[in-house]
Amino acid sequence: MARIVILLLAIFLFFAVPVNSQDLVDLSALTTTQNVKYQDCIKVFNVDNVSLLHLTIASINANRFRIDEIQSRSGYVLFTAAGKQFLASISNVNTNQGMLKITPVDDNYYFQPGIVTNIFKYIELNLKTKLETIN
């Protein structure tokens, strides 16, 4: 058993890719409440606004935040995360790009930046995923 553990450890160390310390995000910075810049709450994605709305709803749901209200016509989602309400509003930049802006409802930008970062990362990871209808 000890040989197997040592072998697995050696394989892991052999294939481990060196990572630049600047590329790593401190996880405590994502969960610690801090002032978040307004510019960090806005991101443009290379997808139309309807698909971006669906991806935003899926991302909020995947992060286990509570969805309070969805307005598909005007393109916004009101949700609660970490005891604070946020507004995710989607708008058109052009026919191939949509902009997502996630702002706190009370205009107090003192919250965990991981809320916004995790939603943006989920959308980026699932950007190429096609929507399918479930019967």
Task: Give the CATH number for residue 44.
Answer: 3.30.310.80
Please give the model's pTM, rounded to 2 decimal places: 0.75
- Residue 69: is its pLDDT beyond 80? yes
- For the segment 11-63, what is each residue's pLDDT rounded down to a tens digit? 655 555 555 544 444 444 456 788 999 999 999 999 999 999 999 999 999 99
Q: Which helix (H) or strand (E) holds 34?
A: strand 34-35
Task: Say if 49 falls within a structural domain.
Answer: yes
Can you give the pLDDT at residue 28? 45
95 is in which domain, residue-wise?
35-125
Domain count, the chain: 1
Task: Say if 8 falls within a structural domain.
Answer: no
**CA angle, corner 49, sides to 62 and 120, nearest 5?**
40
Question: Can you state the percent helix, strand and coil of the chain, rounding each to 5?
Answer: 35, 30, 35
Task: Say if 6 falls within a structural domain.
Answer: no
**CA angle, corner 41, sides to 108 and 117, nearest 5?**
110
Cα–Cα nearest to 115, from 54, 65, 52, 61: 65
